[in-house]
Amino acid sequence: MTLTLQQLNQADVAEATQLLDGIYEHSPWIAAAAMAARPLRSLAHLKHALAQVVNTANASAQLDLIRAHPELAGKAMVSNTLTAESTHEQSKAGLTQCTPEEFARIQQLNADYNQRFGFPFILAVRGPRGTGLGKQEIIDTFARRLFNHPDFERAEALRNIHRIAEIRLNDKFGFEPALGNDVWDWQERLAQHTDPGYAELGQLTVTYLTDAHRACAQRISHWMRDCGFDEVEIDAVGNVVGRYRPAQEGGKYLLTGSHYDTVRNGGKYDGRLGIFVPMACVRELHRQNKRLPFGIEVVAFAEEEGQRYKATFLGSGALIGDFKSEWLDQHDTDGITMREAMQHAGLCIDDIPKLKRDAAHYLGFIEVHIEQGPVLNELDIPLGVVTSINGGQRYVCEMIGMASHAGTTPMDRRRDAANAVAELALYVEQRAAQDGDSVATIGQLHVPNGSINVVPGRCLFSLDMRAPTDPQRDALVKDVLGKLEEIAQRRGLHFKAEQAMSAAAAPSDPAWQKRWENAVDALGVPLFRMPSGAGHDAMKIHEIMPQAMLFVRGLNSGISHNPLESTTSDDMQLAVDAFTHVLHQLDA
């Protein structure tokens, strides 16, 4: 019999705890304490309330919870003494049918892990889609997590326990994140297309206008038609544009979307999530035979990552009339110009200026994107409302001192270029941290022709500084460049600093941000606001119309631009629900 929220809300604490028996392994205290959060507004609310009890419990209670779990493919599995839930999960992941070699490998990992951390390895073996991870994936994850810092690993174990609980709750409530599953599956299927050289390695790389890229455009356009979009086209730069018409002709459109190109060896969700979430919403409208007073235009942007050519945001740039004709003459590493690539793809270069959108025909722009950072994952919060896309500046710099003998030059007579940059690096770290939400990085630091016995005479380095507002960014840049000058002067060195990039911050439009906030709140999950550290298509569209973004939590510390990028179909379902809620708000 499936459980309902109403039952939980009406039961006394002892009954409710009994109803949630088995969700957290051998730990009824969690369900009991979570009942203080009643009335429960949604299943997502219940999941979060339970996770909060664990996350705010003391360290020894957390450890007891972790230790209450059986080892993977361990003694309990062999002797059939697992809880019913654990047996189900381990068999779904195929762990009950290990080869002797696999079994031996897992036993060794169990022993190494236990010795390092003092608790059993916990992995939600039913995985982000709920259907079960492969054995190899389990073994790889196990091996990888052995290298984590112990504090981090304990938190990661708890996050896996929350995920296990989430899936157990879904089973208990008879809930299936059906739309989230579809979104997850679309991404999985799109990831089958990958550039040559990467396909062989099982890696995902889709760069502008390659065969794989054009195959992705075809797939997306077919799916859009299947979903019931009225018009679908691949435009002059390769964007896939789907339009679902408004109830009455002449109605404005809501613009949304994200990119389908990827970085080299990237993840499956970066960009694509923001295409498939609104696609699922349009399909639901079409299924219900429903028209809204406004239309929905979903754009799968052809290019955002700047991998094949140095033309980042090419897809969204074209929509605001920011396509630079000199880009057409850029060569890729094989010597193919962008113009040739576009002609080969059958794109009508002459039509690019026509792609520019008239903001008067649109309500605004919204974009869903995977967070690409660790914040939501660490807080156990599924969705984040973006307050601003950080503005940034980049500099390419050189510190010039005097190369001299490492043995004969006394410490007080040196002109060490690398040490000067090291001093700056520590300042950069401290100065950015002082703002709370600024970030600054020296990502490149190089002593050209350096030797083990020579004091560095030159040091090449980079500066990347970002902040949610332009004044905050400008103040950060001013302080860092000021410090650079002060360090160089005091140490008797000189420097060059050349600006390589400057992008304005794109604060969310308050009314549109509020719509996302209303949507998140309506789902019963905590409202969390955050700036975006990464650039997104929304920052381009920002130049012509109001915009606001929604972030979805990533797994594995939110890692992105990496094959480990991942998120669950439950979180994708919440994103679909939030998007649907925004549509309802606009309808009302």
The answer to the question of residue 303 lying near Zn ion (CB under 5 A) is: no
Minimum gap (Å) between residue 540 Cβ and Zn ion: 12
**Secondary structure percentages of the chain, helix, strand, coil, to 5:** 45, 15, 35
Select the span of 156-164, 267-275, 346-354, 449-457 touching Zn ion (CB under 5 A). 267-275
Select the span of 246-254, 263-271, 360-368, 397-405 touching Zn ion (CB under 5 A). 263-271
CA atoms within 13 A on the CB side of 122: 28
Handedness of CA 416, 418, 420, 426 (dihedral sign): negative
> Of 142 and 365, which has the nearer Cβ to Zn ion?
365
Alpha carbon of residue 79 to chain centroid: 40
Q: Do 205 and 59 meet the contact criterion of CB atoms below 8 Å apart?
A: no
> Of 271 and 507, which has the nearer Cβ to Zn ion?
271
Minimum gap (Å) between residue 317 Cβ and Zn ion: 14
Select the span of 76-84, 102-110, 268-276, 379-387 touching Zn ion (CB under 5 A). 268-276
> Of 235 and 270, which has the nearer Cβ to Zn ion?
270
Both structure tokens of 418: 């690398």
> Of 24 and 301, which has the nearer Cβ to Zn ion?
301
Both structure tokens of 165: 């609980």
Minimum gap (Å) between residue 277 Cβ and Zn ion: 13
Minimum gap (Å) between residue 546 Cβ and Zn ion: 20
> Of 251 and 306, which has the nearer Cβ to Zn ion?
306
> Of 117 and 198, which has the nearer Cβ to Zn ion?
198
> Of 176 and 464, which has the nearer Cβ to Zn ion?
464
Select the span of 41-49, 270-278, 280-288, 310-318 touching Zn ion (CB under 5 A). 270-278
Angle (CA) 280-542-429 rounded to 5° is 100
Exposure class string for 300-330: b at 16+ Cβ within 10 A, else e? bbbbbbbbbbebbbbbbbbbbeebeeeebeb
> Of 163 and 259, which has the nearer Cβ to Zn ion?
259
Select the span of 99-107, 122-130, 269-277, 391-399 touching Zn ion (CB under 5 A). 269-277
Minimum gap (Å) between residue 269 Cβ and Zn ion: 9
> Of 154 and 268, which has the nearer Cβ to Zn ion?
268
Amino acid present at 390: N
Select the span of 271-279, 282-290, 347-355, 389-397 touching Zn ion (CB under 5 A). 271-279
Helices and strands: H and E segment counts in the chain: 21, 16
Minimum gap (Å) between residue 259 Cβ and Zn ion: 6
Minimum gap (Å) between residue 370 Cβ and Zn ion: 8
> Of 294 and 309, which has the nearer Cβ to Zn ion?
309
> Of 271 and 533, which has the nearer Cβ to Zn ion?
271
| Residue (of 506, 264, 219, 180) closest to 367 by Cα position | 506
For Zn ion, the binding residues in 185-204 under the rule CB under 5 A are none
Minimum gap (Å) between residue 274 Cβ and Zn ion: 8
Q: Give the Cα separation of 47 and 165 in Å (integer).
A: 8
Select the span of 185-193, 265-273, 339-347, 435-443 touching Zn ion (CB under 5 A). 265-273
Considering only residues 153, 171, 270, 571, which one is a binding residue for Zn ion as defined by CB under 5 A? 270
Minimum gap (Å) between residue 307 Cβ and Zn ion: 12
> Of 132 and 271, which has the nearer Cβ to Zn ion?
271
Residue 386: exposure state from Cβ atoms within 10 A (0-12, 13-18, ≥19):
buried
Q: Give the Cα separation of 230 and 239 in Å (integer).
A: 17
The answer to the question of residue 25 lying near Zn ion (CB under 5 A) is: no
The answer to the question of residue 271 lying near Zn ion (CB under 5 A) is: yes
For Zn ion, the binding residues in 206-245 under the rule CB under 5 A are none
CA atoms within 13 A on the CB side of 314: 28
| Residue (of 89, 107, 74) closest to 23 by Cα position | 89
Select the span of 249-257, 266-274, 346-354, 427-435 touching Zn ion (CB under 5 A). 266-274
> Of 318 and 420, which has the nearer Cβ to Zn ion?
318
> Of 86 and 508, which has the nearer Cβ to Zn ion?
508
Q: For residue 291, which phi and psi values (nearest 5 degrees)?
A: -115, 145
Q: Do 503 and 535 meet the contact criterion of CB atoms below 8 Å apart?
A: yes
| Residue (of 96, 97, 95, 88) closest to 171 by Cα position | 88
For Zn ion, the binding residues in 72-101 under the rule CB under 5 A are none
| Residue (of 460, 467, 468, 418) closest to 443 by Cα position | 460
Minimum gap (Å) between residue 369 Cβ and Zn ion: 6
Q: Do 182 and 244 meet the contact criterion of CB atoms below 8 Å apart?
A: no
Q: Give the Cα separation of 197 and 201 in Å (integer).
A: 7
Q: Give the Cα separation of 16 and 8 in Å (integer).
A: 5
Minimum gap (Å) between residue 373 Cβ and Zn ion: 12
Minimum gap (Å) between residue 313 Cβ and Zn ion: 10
Q: Do 342 and 328 meet the contact criterion of CB atoms below 8 Å apart?
A: yes
Minimum gap (Å) between residue 424 Cβ and Zn ion: 30
Select the span of 262-270, 418-426, 454-462, 550-558 touching Zn ion (CB under 5 A). 262-270
Q: Give the Cα separation of 316 and 304 in Å (integer).
A: 8
Give the number of residues in contact with Zn ion, rule: CB under 5 A. 2
Minimum gap (Å) between residue 465 Cβ and Zn ion: 21
Q: Give the Cα separation of 513 and 553 in Å (integer).
A: 18
Binding site for Zn ion (CB under 5 A): 270-271
